Chain A
């Protein structure tokens, strides 16, 4: 998190695009933007507008350039120097900054090894670097951008979210978001502890085997409802006690055979033991 906050301090004043994006990082981002804006207007009143625009463009270009370098160093061996893809990896043209944020921000990219699907692992880059790569990828062609804070706040309608989740997500991710199997070693991961922006990113960009839920399919508000439901499930543990992984009847059956019946067999052995 600290990393995130630093990022927003350095980036907030730079470009309108990234100020919208940094809003989700921290409530102070808006304040920081305001302070910078006021200083700029106060310092050079007459030339304020033109100077600010010029600076923003320059900074944004600088970000894109930095992202391009990071991409060339870390991603290009599979995705191609111009991001057009190679035999080893797909094209990233038009995937948008949000796809970069999801794939790199969850540690899925860069991949450690090719396999059925990219695994979640420790994140390899700072948020700043991820944003830079995102900016470079977004500069290739338009694509889904990182959503504003209001769509990932998780303050929507949990009931609508739950219903949308059951209809659209549960067949792979399980009703309680515990995850599930797909074909040939692929799987839908469990959703506990996933950052809301990554949940949103997964829905909007459809990583790996996941279908894309575009804004026409699930509006940003509906995505927020789903995030609200997931947040509710995460923050409200099962009222019935330990949830045994929320995996359904299989874990319940295993439990009753091993601990229920197993425990009672121990009792029967105790009851019939000869006293000595």
Chain B
């Protein structure tokens, strides 16, 4: 006890750590399951770092050709790169190597999946609004980096699957007008596949990308602390406070336990289920392509876009071939990702809302945003499903052309359907909320009054429940107003039009007056 006191004092006098611990220890985390998705991402990243470090001890990214002499019979005597050989050695010769490889890969899939779900949570609750727009952008960059890390990792074993993935990337690069072939040679150092790409990707995968990722995670965490956490509305939970458990000791204990749960789930999955059986694929050779060659799930949407674009879209101009069937998906996906990145700024401009928001919205209470999100999800889902069009065809006994055409419909028309349906569902749910807030639930109990009149008794909500239903903000469409020079600019007209589109259909929250008049 004496020693700990002395030690703590020693450190504090030299680092002023107590200030940081005090601030951090008092940081409040509200309790809601959906607020823990980001934690899943963080913890799976820690697992990735740990298992990845183990893998670097044994992996050799060289593309020098050797003959396989390991214990996997169907590859013995086959020439292959050192990279693939060492990946096989990790799987077959090194104690615990296969488990670590599977932990690393499963954790990577979980990492990107939890980031995606975390982003959807933030989007649909409007938690990206001021003051958190920048943290949304950082989070978006983390998502893109996670995909890049995943893809470079997928390419490292230099097996048939990873080589096929690189071939598609090479094809996409070469489709870039004018500079494509130059970029391809710069990246691969030679005609594809060359002998440079694996060492280069290795450096990106274990040095540059993780360094940027860790830095951005740090920034993400700092902004999380500075901005404080959002919370759902409730009695006593306002825009100016945060209600929840402090980091020390409650949240830290919970989070620490949760880290081990995430770790445990990953190891459990990795010990029971094969992931990327590289020994099946054999060494990379540019000629064969296996049926069922797909990227990992997070690159699936890009693969799907290539599968959905109608073939033969090519024009030859001045002797150069313009491969629209590659360029359109490429540009389309970049636009889609960019739209996701800048959405907070777009919405802020359209709504003209410059206030800070710390209350997470229920998705139904912002029907247009929720509908836009649903449209985006549908678009993504169409592309994503298209990446497995061949497996959908074989497993549901459909023709692959039928699957492709159906998914083209889902990707192009589906977002509009999703938009309208979601918007109407949100408005209907708000109407229902309003009805319940005002009149309570129908209890099904019919009472006959002395005068002979029959009424149904409604069960009123208690204050806590009602709060949830009535406390949301109502936005009005912006009016077009002349500026200082008495003019109405085109910019203003556009903005007013968008604002009308956003807020034209709305259900006003129940007012205190309405509630009181209902009560009497």
Contact = CB atoms under 8 A, between A and B. Distances in A.
A267 B261 contact: yes
A27 interface: no
A171 interface: yes
A242 B273 CA distance: 5
A178 B395 CA distance: 11
Contacts of A173: 291
B341 to A, nearest CB: 23
Interface string A252-270: 1111110111011101110
Given A175-B282, A257-B113, A261-B110, A181 B265 contact: no
Given A162-B282, A172-B291, A180-B291, A242 B272 contact: yes
Interface stretch (B2-10, B396-404, B476-484): B396-404
A170 B262 CA distance: 36
B295 interface: yes
B145 interface: no
Contacts of A184: 399-401
A99 B94 CA distance: 47
Contacts of A162: 74-75, 78, 282
Interface of B: 31-37, 40, 73-78, 91-92, 98, 102, 106, 109-110, 113-114, 117, 160-161, 254, 257-258, 261-262, 265-266, 269, 271-277, 280-282, 285, 287-297, 300, 387-391, 393-394, 397-402
A167 interface: yes
Contact of A249 (B92, B287, B294): B294
B109 A238 contact: no
Given A159-B73, A240-B277, A271-B254, A260 B290 contact: no
Contacts of A260: 106, 109-110, 113, 265-266, 269
Q: How many interface residues does chain A have, given as a range?
A: 35 or more
A170 B291 CA distance: 6
A229 to B, nearest CB: 6
Given A181-B400, A260-B269, A242 B292 contact: no
Contacts of B102: 240-241
Nearest to B289: A171
Contact of B76 (A159, A249, A255): A159
Nearest to A239: B98
Interface in A226-242: 229, 232-233, 238-242
Nearest to B77: A159
Nearest to B274: A240
B280 A271 contact: no
A206 B276 CA distance: 31
A8 B32 CA distance: 71
Contacts of B117: 261
B313 to A, nearest CB: 20
22 contacts: A166-B282, A166-B290, A170-B289, A170-B291, A171-B288, A171-B291, A179-B394, A183-B401, A232-B74, A240-B91, A240-B98, A240-B273, A243-B277, A247-B292, A257-B113, A257-B297, A264-B40, A264-B265, A268-B33, A268-B34, A268-B36, A268-B258
A261 B40 contact: yes
Contacts of A13: none
B273 A170 contact: no
Contact of B285 (A166, A181, A247, A265): A166
Contacts of A179: 291, 394
Interface string A154-179: 00001101110011001111111011
B149 to A, nearest CB: 16
Contacts of B285: 166-167
Given A181-B394, A261-B114, A267-B265, A166 B296 contact: no
B392 to A, nearest CB: 8
Contact of A159 (B36, B74, B254, B257): B74
Contacts of A244: 273-274
Contacts of B300: 249-250, 253
A249 B297 contact: yes
A142 interface: no
A175 B280 contact: yes
Given A176-B280, A246-B277, A271-B33, A167 B291 contact: no
A205 B491 CA distance: 70
Nearest to A274: B31
A158 B254 CA distance: 52
B166 to A, nearest CB: 15
Nearest to B402: A185
Contacts of A271: 33, 36, 254, 257-258
B274 A243 contact: yes
Contacts of B36: 268, 271-272
Nearest to B264: A267
A116 interface: yes
Interface in A104-125: 116
Contacts of B287: 167
A27 B354 CA distance: 87
Contact of A238 (B114, B160, B261, B277): B277
A211 interface: no
A217 to B, nearest CB: 16
Nearest to B389: A181
Contact of A256 (B106, B272, B276, B293): B106
Interface string A42-70: 00000000000000000000000000000
A256 B297 contact: yes
A187 interface: yes
Contact of B274 (A159, A185, A242, A259): A242
Contacts of A229: 74
Given A159-B75, A242-B274, A252 B297 contact: yes
Contacts of B114: 261, 264
B393 A166 contact: no
B285 to A, nearest CB: 7
A271 B255 CA distance: 10
Contacts of B292: 174-175, 178, 180, 247-248, 250
Contacts of A163: 78, 282
Contact of A241 (B271, B389, B400): B271
Contacts of A172: 291
Nearest to B268: A263
Nearest to B154: A249
Contacts of B288: 166-167, 170-171
B282 A181 contact: no
Interface string A133-166: 0000000000000000000000000110111001
